[in-house]
Amino acid sequence: MTYAIRAREDAFAPDIITGTFSILDTDITALIDPGSIHSYICTNLVSVKNLSVESTKFMVKVSNPLGQFVMKYIVLKCKNGELLHVESDKLDGLSNKYVRKGYDAYLAYVLDTKVSELKIKSVLVVCEFLDVFTEELPGLPLVREVNFSIDLVLGTTLISIAPYRMAPTELKELKAQLQELTNRGFAQASLSPWGALVLFVMKKDGSLRLCIDYRQLNKVTIKNKYLLPRIGDLFDQLKGVTVFSKIDLRSRYYQLYGHYEFLVMSFGLTNAPAIFMDLMNRIFKPYLDRFVVVFINDILVYSQDENEHADHLKIVLQTLREKQLSAKFSKCEFWLWEVGFLGHIVYAEGIRVDPNKISAIVNWKSPKNISEVRIFLGLVGYYRRFVKGFLMIASPMTRLLQKDVKFEWSDKCYQSFDRLKALLTEAPVLVQFEPGKEIVIYSDASLNGLGCVLMQESKVIAYASRQINST
């Protein structure tokens, strides 16, 4: 990330405000930011003036150009007030000289991408629970609080699908994976007349993931009524949280018993997510809404400070140990000031969209049919709370989904499509709702739709909108 400033811009830019202040009888030129809530001073000046410092009772976060935090607990005691002391390199006097002469100056933040791999033994608290982070599941899991079975709609006829043709490399991989599943007790040879297709999907590392096509079976399976939580509701309890850890369970469905030939719950079955969500909620029930958020196999541990987080993390890992649930260390993150969770970035100041998830939407090509329109609207709709007037903007595309409407990608559709992508890249930071504080709702209406914004302390919590049915 690089910013450029030229001598003329430096001297005359209307949005750059400077002033002169006296610190211990020394005049200091300072850059003034009207929106700042603290004042900062560089390390060099502290050393030169031999200023006295003391630790604060609170944590100070100062972000660098990449949004990462520099943290200090030091406050300067000066006769004209208090200044926060943060580490920085000594100022180079030559750079100021060259800028004044008319040279271009660049402020660049350089990041070393060769980050050494994190070792589990070096992570505080986590190092005490090495047995939770196994390389592979050892065998059949414990008998769980919930069991899994496939209940079929009355009158269902036998389903047996002929296998796809596979390449020699895939057949070799299939044999190896089936042998591994059998050796570990997850599957056994079957004489059942029922059958589903198997196929492979390539992972990011180039290896092959064994998948089973249960679509026909899922159509005749009685759906489990256990509802997955609303994503937005999960974030409401994270107001003011400063420390996070995220735990990803390994081969989540293989950690639950079943009543069929696979012996454990398999990927792709329609009721599998609901059953596993039920299991996780039962296991972590005493800690939900206190310091744990669970969504299927993702566990988020959150705390107000580091000392509290150490206790919370220990409780969660001990629970996983007792229940013999295994996590994948390479997919876990610990002791974070901000965390990516369910397509969002969460930190103390609020919640924003995850740019890594938005990139897929930004690069989305114009839809060529109704199915592609529906998929795109599903993707952007996940972030609708960040977009003011979402449904009104999306209306040209949503009309294409109406019955008996012919697909025609018009200029209005393209403008709607392009506008939504642009708005998501500029999406604001939303604050989390805080119970007990005053809520303000601004609303608007037209012949085409309704819109509103929910706010607390002049900050946006969420946008909402709805189209008005013309009929």
Pairing of strands 208-213, 197-202: antiparallel
Q: How far is CA 398 from the centre of its chain?
A: 27
- From 334, 353, 372, the end of a domain falls on 353
Of the candidates 297, 288, 286, the residue with the CA atom closest to the CA atom of residue 238: 288
- From 353, 383, 402, the end of a domain falls on 353
Give yes or no: residues 128 and 268 share one domain: yes
- From 108, 128, 155, the end of a domain falls on 108
The structural domain count of the chain equals: 3
Give yes or no: residues 55 and 71 share one domain: yes
Of the candidates 346, 356, 341, the residue with the CA atom closest to the CA atom of residue 429: 346
Give yes or no: residues 386 and 286 share one domain: no
Reply yes or no on whether the pLDDT at 307 is more than 70. Answer: yes
CB-side neighbour CA atoms (13 Å) of 308: 12
Pairing of strands 53-63, 105-108: unpaired
Give yes or no: residues 365 and 389 share one domain: yes
Name beta bridge partners: 347: 338, 350
Scan for tokens 């040879």, then name that residue.
189
What confidence score (pLDDT) does residue 416 get? Answer: 93
Neighbours of 68 (CB within 10 A): 13
Reply yes or no on whether the pLDDT at 460 is more than 90. Answer: no
Q: What is the pLDDT of residues 319-377, one digit of tens each?
A: 999 988 888 888 899 999 888 888 888 888 888 888 888 888 888 889 999 999 999 99
Reply yes or no on whether the pLDDT at 113 is more than 60. Answer: no
Using 50, 70 and 90 to split pLDDT, how confident is the model at 435?
A: confident
Distance CA 343, CA 362 (A): 15
Distance CA 292, CA 286 (A): 9
Distance CA 211, CA 204 (A): 15
Q: What is the pLDDT of residues 198-213, one digit of tens each?
A: 888 887 777 788 788 8
Give yes or no: residues 449 and 393 share one domain: yes
Query: Is the residue at 33 inside a domain?
Result: yes
Give yes or no: residues 292 and 437 share one domain: no
Query: Which of 73-82, 139-148, 410-419, 459-468 is the least confident region?
Result: 73-82
What percent of the chain shows pLDDT beyond 90? Answer: 12
Query: Is the residue at 372 inside a domain?
Result: yes
Query: Is the residue at 173 inside a domain?
Result: no
Q: What is the pLDDT of residues 239-250, one digit of tens each?
A: 778 899 999 887
Distance CA 268, CA 275 (A): 13
Give yes or no: residues 332 and 405 share one domain: no
Coil, strand or helix at 432:
coil
What confidence score (pLDDT) does residue 63 get? Answer: 60
Coil, strand or helix at 373:
helix
Which CATH number belongs to the domain containing residue 276 in this structure?
3.30.70.270
* Structural domain span for residue 238: 120-136+225-353
Which CATH number belongs to the domain containing residue 90 in this structure?
2.40.70
Query: Is the residue at 198 inside a domain?
Result: no
Query: Is the residue at 197 inside a domain?
Result: no
Distance CA 360, CA 266 (A): 28
What confidence score (pLDDT) does residue 246 get? Answer: 93
* Residues with Cβ within 8 Å of residue 27, at least 6 apart in sequence: 20, 21
- What's the mean pLDDT in 384-399? 88
Type of residue found at 98: Y
What percent of the chain shows pLDDT beyond 70? Answer: 71
Distance CA 120, CA 126 (A): 7
Give yes or no: residues 51 and 132 share one domain: no
Distance CA 287, CA 318 (A): 13
Give yes or no: residues 238 and 349 share one domain: yes
Pairing of strands 40-41, 81-85: parallel
Query: Is the residue at 403 inside a domain?
Result: yes
* Residues with Cβ within 8 Å of residue 91, at least 6 apart in sequence: 42, 44
Of the candidates 38, 34, 37, 7, the residue with the CA atom closest to the CA atom of residue 19: 34
Please spell the DSSP secondary structure of 386-419, one letter per residue: GSTTHHHHHHHHHGGGSTTPPP---HHHHHHHHH
Give yes or no: residues 270 and 126 share one domain: yes
Q: How far is CA 325 from the centre of its chain?
A: 23
Query: Is the residue at 177 inside a domain?
Result: no
Q: What is the pLDDT of residues 23-58, one digit of tens each?
A: 667 777 776 665 555 666 666 677 777 777 776 665
Using 50, 70 and 90 to split pLDDT, how confident is the model at 316?
A: very high
Give yes or no: residues 132 and 95 share one domain: no
> Which residue has better confidence, 389 or 225?
389
Query: Is the residue at 9 inside a domain?
Result: yes
Q: What is the mean pLDDT of the chain?
A: 76
Radius of gyration of the chain from its Cα atoms, rounded to whole angstroms: 28
Neighbours of 468 (CB within 10 A): 13
pTM for the full predicted model: 0.64
> Which residue has better confidence, 126 or 71?
126
Give yes or no: residues 300 and 378 share one domain: no
Scan for tokens 């610190």, then name that residue.
23
